[in-house]
Structure 1
């Protein structure tokens, strides 16, 4: 029995180490290549040879045309992400909480709609969204694109939040009602503070999707002044030439905010997803 436990722990540790290496190696390669010139990258694709240079970071920061680059892309990504979080968390978390107090038939249909939405690929929405946004004059509008991203992440936000609120202690909301606190004040003052872990988890999931989404962004963010980080980085690659050092430098810079947030909030994210998947008890 003891030998089996030790073997199981060793196997688990080896698996975790391999997974960590698998995740870390691509980022390490990106960082190494971000300090190399085009010639060095072509000579050694792993970034292990050649002179170190910060030119890639300088080019990435000011952009190909010198009118923005990462300094502008960061601002646009922040605007898009903030809008998407406001829409996704505001509508998804709030709707998931209040629907748990609705009649069973309403809850069933509510969940069915969002479960069906999870299997709808983004690529199917590109043409309809472009037509709507073009007719409304919302092309190259970061806030409008943030609304679209928020709507796309609503199914995940709703399903995780619903699983958490379904087992939320009813005694707390009933006590608030006895004290004369209305449903909305109960939600804002009692429920949300206790659901901080679940809300943080779905917020990070939304942020990761929005921060790296390219398919829809390429179509809806056409002007350079409106582009987010993943869309803007495409400008470093032309039809015949590419500034690979700047592209890798931009990838490295763009990854930093998400990595910092995850390192700071990883415990709440893990706890929130666990509670969302297996109930709030």
Structure 2
């Protein structure tokens, strides 16, 4: 919470006070207009609303994709033989350890060849793939402890594997799915390394990349950058406060193994 409070404090200060007196509250040149400048966007850039829209598109596609695919993969992996299950989990564990910087050039080459550079929805699909290993690893533990009696009862009622998953398993996975969605959503919402490479056009940039336009070659509107960060963080804080219990419960359930 302290870093967030520091960002709020700095968002009301002038550039001079941010660097000379970052923690001070007395004898400070307060600049609430930092927020209006952040909302209007940097000179030559887009408005904050456009950045928010791009971030929402990228995050929504990335989170929805990784949550559904992660749940699907983790659940059906638990139905496989122990050897196959171990291989699947080992593969996702290895994928989760890959540094993102190793993937930048391959992704850029592929996007350039497919004419998908500066396309937010396509970058959302990439984030869904990047977040998939984490989602599978978290949900795998939960599905290992899923009651086999429920699957057997569904089979007696004539439900196949897919219908059992959609009608029985998914509704009972709400806690872990919310936890996975928020964990990955926070990552996608604030990620810059991949976004700055694949979303180069001003009208396609998400919030973290768009705010960088406040920083020029010889000067920077640091106060507006912190104001933009404050505005960008508010939705994440509200979501965390609303789903706090679901996150804790989901992570706890995801760590239960048989």
Task: Work out whether the TM-score is over 0.5.
Answer: yes
Equivalent residue of 2:243, what SS?
helix
Q: Pick one of 23, 40, 51 that aligns with 1:46.
A: 23
Displacement after TM superposition at 1:187 (Å): 1.0
What's the counterpart of residue 68 of structure 1?
46
The RMSD of aligned alpha carbons is 1.4
Q: Pick one of 142, 166, 178 that aligns with 1:164.
A: 142
Equivalent residue of 1:278, what SS?
coil
Tell me the matched-pair count.
257
For 1:41 and 1:160, the matched residues in 2 are separated by 40
Kindly indicate whether residue 221 of structure 2 is the aligned counterpart of residue 237 of structure 1: no
For 2:195 and 2:21, the matched residues in 1 are separated by 32
For 2:18 and 2:52, the matched residues in 1 are separated by 26
In the superposition, the TM-score normalised over structure 1's length comes to: 0.88
**Structure 2, unaligned stretches of length 5 or more?**
none
Higher relative contact order (CA 8 A, sep 6+): 2
| Contact 1:41 1:47 (C-alpha < 8 Å) held by counterparts | no
Equivalent residue of 1:232, what SS?
helix
Query: 1:198-213 to 2 correspondence within 5 Å?
Result: 198-213=176-191
Q: Using the TM superposition, name which of 136-145 and 68-77 deviates more.
A: 68-77
Q: Using the TM superposition, name which of 177-186 and 255-264 deviates more.
A: 177-186
Displacement after TM superposition at 1:89 (Å): 1.1
| Contact 2:45 2:210 (C-alpha < 8 Å) held by counterparts | no
For 1:116 and 1:142, the matched residues in 2 are separated by 27
For 1:61 and 1:143, the matched residues in 2 are separated by 23
Kindly indicate whether residue 26 of structure 2 is the aligned counterpart of residue 30 of structure 1: no
| Contact 2:64 2:181 (C-alpha < 8 Å) held by counterparts | no
For 1:69 and 1:106, the matched residues in 2 are separated by 50
User: Which structure has the larger Rg?
Assistant: 1
What's the counterpart of residue 215 of structure 1?
193
What's the counterpart of residue 126 of structure 1?
104
Displacement after TM superposition at 1:230 (Å): 0.9
For 1:155 and 1:171, the matched residues in 2 are separated by 28
Displacement after TM superposition at 1:71 (Å): 1.2
Displacement after TM superposition at 1:66 (Å): 6.1
4+ residue stretches of structure 1 with deviation over 4 A?
Answer: none
